[in-house]
Amino acid sequence: MLVKSTPAEQRTVLQNITWETFEALLRDTGEDRGSRFAYDCGVLEIMTPLFEHENPKIQFDRLIFALAVELKTKIRSAGSTTLKRQSITKGIEPDTCYYIQNEPLIRGKQELDLTTDPAPDLAVEIDITSSSVNKFNIYAALGVGELWRYDGEVLKFYQLIESEYIEIKLSRAFPLISVSEMNRFIQQSKTMDEIDLVQSFSAWVRGKIA
């Protein structure tokens, strides 16, 4: 077992964890726990986020929701839902994720089953410190079409192309938005009141579509 603590995240890594043990931990800890799991072929990382991690997550969620409202885009938020498939022995809990293109396919569903349901179209992953598992491989195997990764300073967009993530400049889910523009507002969130931030962002989006 390896425990790594930082001001942003505490990570515990467990080796040789069976799928059955992973499932049991998910059941026993429940949906309301503060930690998030990433599982890849027997390696389980348990990450407990602290303020430096959680505040950007909240800002991303608010900005993405505001973006969908201004663009009149149908969206279904899935938050940190556990995304998993036993057949590939991989599972992960994103900081937040969304159904956008595939929103009609999961509308009205109360549970997700990735053996029959599509993966979210967009996931946001905040890694202030380096993860001990390859999250890109997990997301790619699960079929998440777009990934936004933020390291506390720089935001990058990635699109899944032929089982591999390729860095992109414009969002696939929201083609109007560039990574540099979204990163600018995330940086502003560090020093700006949150209500003012969302109002400023919404006004900016309206200006782009006018």
Q: Residue 142, Cβ neighbours under 10 Å: how many?
A: 19
pLDDT for the residue 8: 57
Residue 43: phi, psi to the nearest 5?
Answer: -100, 125
Q: What is the pTM of this model?
A: 0.91
In Å, what is the CA distance from 123 to each residue of 3, 6, 24, 149, 208? Answer: 26, 23, 25, 9, 24
3-state secondary structure at position 103:
helix
51-209 CATH fold: tt1808, chain A (3.90.1570)
Alpha helices in the chain (DSSP H): 19-29, 51-71, 103-106, 135-142, 179-188, 194-209
pLDDT digits (tens, 9 = 90+) for 83-137: 999 999 999 999 999 999 999 999 999 999 999 999 999 999 998 877 778 999 9
pLDDT for the residue 4: 47
State how far the Cα of 105 lies from the Cα of 113, in Å rounded to an integer: 12
Q: Residue 24, Cβ neighbours under 10 Å: how many?
A: 12
pLDDT digits (tens, 9 = 90+) for 33-88: 778 999 999 999 998 888 888 899 999 999 999 999 999 999 999 999 999 999 99
In Å, what is the CA distance from 39 to each residue of 6, 47, 76, 95, 172? Answer: 21, 11, 24, 15, 26
pLDDT at 2 over 60: no
pLDDT at 179 over 70: yes
Q: Using the 8-state DSSP alphabet, how is residue 102 labeled?
A: T
